[in-house]
Amino acid sequence: MYELLALLVIIIVILIILGSSIRIVKEYERAVIFRLGRLIDAKGPGLILLIPGVDRPRVVDLRTITYDARMIKIITKDNIRCDVDSFVYYRVVDPKKAINEVENYVHATQMLAKTVLRDVLGHAELDDLLTKTVELTKDIQEEIDEMTDPWGIKVSAVAISDVLLPAEMQRAIAKQAEAEREKRARIIVAEGEYIAAEKMAQAAEVYGKSPITLKLRELQTLTDIAREKNLVVVTSTTDLRELGNIVALTRTAMGKGEQVKKK
């Protein structure tokens, strides 16, 4: 009976030792092994064996981590205060450095990213912050990536999602945009008047060479005015006689042309 109990205890102890010496590391993880305080290697994925009581594993996630940097207060180069929402994407490329070179690589990377964001955006003017986000995010990414490289961290992307401006600054930008549109509208109207003036000058030259053409144009204008029955047109009898003569001459010329065609 005592032998069976001792055997059962031995089996339980062996199972406990085996349970503490066997670890399963997932595909996106690596286990950094410390043996008696010394860094051995990063193992995984799959099944790894440890020496119980001697080896201490630290599991590191290799997937991309998204840092949501919200409401970072920025004072731009032209002294405009605004809040910036951005995202920083990074991942561990060297698990041994991430564990051995920095105490908490996640916290350290996020604090560094926030500091670099505030520094780079603070040296830009408001117009650049609103229109040149691609260039600014590229500079931020390169600077963070360079500073986190000794930690085994790779920054893959930085994105600025929103820029929140004070209400008075939004009103000022709206007034500026309205003034810009009004300026463009006035320029377009002025260009139209300039083109119309050129065409009218050309028409005046044609009318000066042919008075009959001018009279026909006057007749056409009177016809257009006559369509509005509520208008009264006042003209001199001399003009009417001249118009009658022009119409008669025109009809005579048309009649002669038809006779020529019949012959």
- Sequence ranges of the domains in the chain: 2-60, 65-165, 177-209, 210-257
CATH H superfamily, domain 65-165? Band 7 domain (3.30.479.30)
pLDDT tens digit sequence for 159-212: 998 888 877 777 777 787 788 888 888 899 898 888 988 888 887 777 777 776
Find out whether 85 and 162 touch, Cβ atoms under 8 Å: yes
pLDDT tens digit sequence for 28-45: 999 999 998 899 999 989
Paired residues of 25 in beta bridges:
46
pLDDT of 236 higher than 80: no
The helix (run of H) or strand (run of E) holding residue 113 is helix 105-122
Averaged pLDDT for residues 63-67: 94
- What one-character-per-residue DSSP string does 57-70 give? EEEEE-S-EEEEEE
Least confidently predicted of 72-86, 156-170, 180-194, 235-249: 235-249
- Please state, in angstroms and rounded to a whole number, the distance separating the CA atoms of residues 51 and 38: 14
Backbone angles phi, psi at 96, to 5 degrees: -65, -40
46 Cβ contact list (under 8 Å, min separation 6): 24, 25
38 by DSSP, 3-state: which?
strand
Mean of all residue pLDDT scores within the chain: 82
Pairwise pLDDT comparison (54 vs 251), residue with the higher score: 54
The structure's pTM equals 0.65
